[in-house]
Amino acid sequence: MPELPNIRWGIIATGLISSWFVEDIVRTDRPEPQATHTIQAIGSSSLQKGKDFVAKHIPQTSPAIYGSYEEVYNDPNVDVIYIGTPHAFHKKNCLDAISAGKHVLCEKAFTLTAKETREVFETAQAKGVYVMEAMWTRHFPLIKAMQKVLHEEKVIGEVRRAFCDFAIFQDIASKGPESRLKNPALGAGSLLDIGIYSLTLTILGLEPALGEKKGAAETPAVRAIQSLSDGVDVSTAVLLLYKDGRQGIATSHSDLKTGDDFCRVEGSEGTLIVHGPAASVPSSFTVVKRGGGEKTYEFERPGRGFYWEADAVAVDIQQGRTESPVMPWSETIRFMEIMDEVRRQGGARFPQDER
Ligand SMILES: NC(=O)c1ccc[n+]([C@@H]2O[C@H](COP(=O)([O-])OP(=O)(O)OC[C@H]3O[C@@H](n4cnc5c(N)ncnc54)[C@H](OP(=O)(O)O)[C@@H]3O)[C@@H](O)[C@H]2O)c1
């Protein structure tokens, strides 16, 4: 057995998502790991927060703990930076990490606008470092299986429509202006927080896997409507239309919880329904054939499943790539452009739109 690649992570920020990420990537109970992961350093706005984070979430590790992000970027023992700050800081955090010569895995939404995203990738290209948006769901074995069933095996015939939703009760009205869910300057709104997953599943349902597409991915026509509260979108509904007539409907809502069957893909010979706690973490899907017959595909997922994207980063870097074949830069830009257009039509604005 060839030795698995090992990668040394510097973690930026000690909020919720960073805790999920680190807990997952040091798990030892998952099947078929493709890499091993060392938590080399933690960077936080406060040294004490960093210490508390390690004690609570990864007490079995002994990373360097810093009271600033810069010290992580400059740590020579760190290979790759994981960015878990609110979206509004992603551009600056990415640029700082890249200018220190580090590879980067940055949480979704990658930045606030497509313009910011392009700036980050141009800088990464000039520096020759690896950067990927942490759209973790794309790395789930379930997603690869779903695309194979839909677009290679064509089990439901020609795919024609997809409907996907992500709705979760976030009680935004009760939050203060410091909350990333409330403050437009921090990128608040359902679209970039959760609607990005509905869009992802809708588009992955309607399109073959990136590697099998011929030429650049088509950007479908977009029509969108949003409900706003204090300028922040509480709900977003997006219609997508491809040149050949394929149709997508992607919705998000931050004031109620959706059910377990949050995504449906319809084809000429049947339907595929995706199940799970939310569109970010699908756990199974069922194919229902038009003439009768039904099959459910289940997937093992110890913990939450962040190790799949982390493994992909380690393998890509080991193989000398600067982009992920699963989430290449052009795909992050395409999604950011769609979300810019959705907000332009729907009305949700960020102060950063003007810059
Ligand atoms: N992949 C997923 O499933 C998933 C799930 C949730 C969130 N996310 C993404 O992860 C990012 C962070 O979300 P989160 O829920 O983890 O947020 P969070 O719990 O509020 O944590 C964000 C962290 O960022 C740092 N930070 C720096 N400046 C800040 C500021 N002005 N306000 C607030 N925090 C600041 C803080 O860490 P320090 O004080 O330690 O520096 C804070 O703990 C978002 O982009 C979100 O879209 C992804």
* pLDDT at residue 213 greater than cutoff 70: no
* pLDDT at residue 325 greater than cutoff 90: yes
Decide whether any atom of ligand 1 lies within 6 Å of the 86 Cβ.
yes
Least confident of 38-52, 59-73, 208-222, 263-277: 208-222
Of the residues 137, 152, 168, the one at which a domain ends: 137
Looking at the fold, whether 183 and 272 belong to one and the same domain comes out as yes
* pLDDT at residue 212 greater than cutoff 90: no
Adjacent-strand bridge partners of 2: none
Q: Does 319 fall in a domain?
A: no
* pLDDT at residue 355 greater than cutoff 80: no
Q: Does 245 fall in a domain?
A: yes
State the pLDDT confidence band at 263, using cuts at 50, 70 and 90: very high
Looking at the fold, whether 345 and 224 belong to one and the same domain comes out as yes
Which pLDDT does position 354 carry in this prediction? 80
Which pLDDT does position 138 carry in this prediction? 97
Distance of alpha carbon 183 from alpha carbon 242, whole angstroms:
34
Q: Does 306 fall in a domain?
A: no
Average pLDDT for residues 44-73, to the nearest whole number? 98
CATH code, domain carrying 88: 3.40.50.720
Which pLDDT does position 32 carry in this prediction? 94
Q: Evaluate whether 310 touches 105 at the Cβ level (below 8 Å).
A: yes
CATH code, domain carrying 182: 3.30.360.10
Looking at the fold, whether 164 and 250 belong to one and the same domain comes out as yes
Q: Does 314 fall in a domain?
A: no
* Domain that includes residue 191, residue range: 141-300+336-354
Of the residues 86, 111, 137, the one at which a domain ends: 137
3-state secondary structure 38-81: EEEEEECCCHHHHHHHHHHHCCCCCCEEECCCHHHHCCCCCCEE
Question: Ligand 1 mean position to 293 CA, how many Å?
Answer: 44
Taking all residues of the chain, what is their mean pLDDT, rounded to a whole number?
96
Specify the ligand 1 atom closest to the Cα of 18: 16
Q: Does 127 fall in a domain?
A: yes
Looking at the fold, whether 131 and 147 belong to one and the same domain comes out as no
Which residue's CA is the closest to the ligand 1 atom numbered 6? 17
Decide whether any atom of ligand 1 lies within 6 Å of the 99 Cβ.
no
